[in-house]
Structure 1
Amino acid sequence: MDTREAAERFVRVWQRGWAEHDVEALLALYAEECVHRSMPFREPHRGHAGLGAYLRWSFAGERVTDVRFSAPVVGQNGVVVAEFRVLSEEDGEPATLAGCVFVRFDADGLAVETRDYWHTADGHREPSGTLFLS
């Protein structure tokens, strides 16, 4: 699978999967021995078991109202970047999560390594200065 095709599938499935908290659909995007870094100073989540546990924990208490991903940007080195913005209610309070994900795929189009950088804000907001979200 070519990188652009894998990247487009990745953001399409993540957008729907996050909105529906569909952990199994999200895990299907990843190689069995994947490494996911959810924040720069957290220990990485390794493999389907580690990533699945992290996703279930992350989705607990979150009621998503809108998820938006940018079109992915494929770098010359094969690393893909996409921005995301999620409107939700967490413990009954409106919240916004915005950030970006960096992805590296294997030859089968499965994510072998992902890294997120994100921030949250109270209320429903659009990030300022977003480059790719429409």
Structure 2
Amino acid sequence: MQTIEAAQRWATTWANAWPFKNVDAIVGLQADDGEHWASMFRPLRGRSGLRAYLEECFAAETKPAETWFSEPIVNGSSASVEYWVVMFIEDQPMTVSGCTVLSFDDSGLVTTARDYSHVKEGHHLRPEHPFSA
């Protein structure tokens, strides 16, 4: 599978699965021995690690998340995808902005996902043109 196809599938799946807490859809993107770094201080090993993390996170969410994932930027077998999500913890909005750097195997499964994000209380709109004056 081409990297652009794998990265687009990853972004679309996350965008559509997160609001419904569809753990299986997201875990299905991961190679059996793939790594997902929820932060640089929290590596998750394999599908079971990613599943446990998602179940923990989704259990805290009380309303469907509002998601936006960018078109991937691809370089070789790697890609980066920016995202902006408003999730609800105890019905209170929390905005997450971030970027995930991904590597894929030949079948299009994630071998490494490194997530860089920031969380801020409240419902914050994604900037349309973040670098404009």
Q: After TM superposition, is the score higher than 0.5?
A: yes
User: 2:77, 2:105 within 8 Å by CA — same for their partners in 1?
Assistant: no
| Structure 1 residues 130 and 38, CA gap change in structure 2 (3 angstroms) | farther
* 2:83 equivalent in structure 1: 84
Q: Deviations over 1:67-114 (max 9, x none)?
A: 000000002x42100111111211121111110101100000000110
Following the alignment from structure 1 to structure 2, what is the Cα–Cα distance between the partners of residues 95 and 101? 19
How far apart are 1:122 and its partner, in Å? Answer: 1.1
Output the amino acid matched with 1:30. Answer: Q
1:28-47 correspondence to structure 2 within 5 Å: 28-42=28-42, 44-47=43-46
Please report how far the alpha carbon of residue 127 of structure 1 lies from its aligned counterpart in structure 2 after TM superposition.
Answer: 4.5
Q: Give the counterpart letter for 1:104 in structure 2.
A: S
1:45 and 1:28 map into 2 onto residues whose CA distance is 15
Question: Structure 1's 106 and 68: CA in aligned 2 closer, same or farther, altered over 3 A?
Answer: same
Distance of 2:16 and 2:117 partners within structure 1: 19
2:51 maps to what in 1? Answer: 52
Counterpart position of 1:67: 67
Aligned residues: 129
Identity percentage of aligned residues? 36
Match of residue 19 from structure 2: 19
Query: Which protein has the bigger strand share?
Result: 2
Offset of residue 40 of structure 1: 1.4
Please state if 1:99 is matched with 2:98. Answer: yes
Question: Who is 1:5 aligned against?
Answer: 5
TM-score, normalised to structure 1, is 0.90
C-alpha spacing 1:130/1:29, structure 2 compared with 1 (3 Å):
farther
TM-score of the two chains, using structure 2 as the length reference: 0.90
Label 1:113 to 1:89 Cα distance change in 2 as closer, same or farther (>3 A).
same
Is the CA contact (8 Å cut-off) linking 2:72 and 2:79 kept in structure 1? yes
The CA distance in 2 between the partners of 1:124 and 1:67, in whole Å, is: 12
Q: Which 5+ residue runs of structure 1 have no aligned equivalent?
A: none
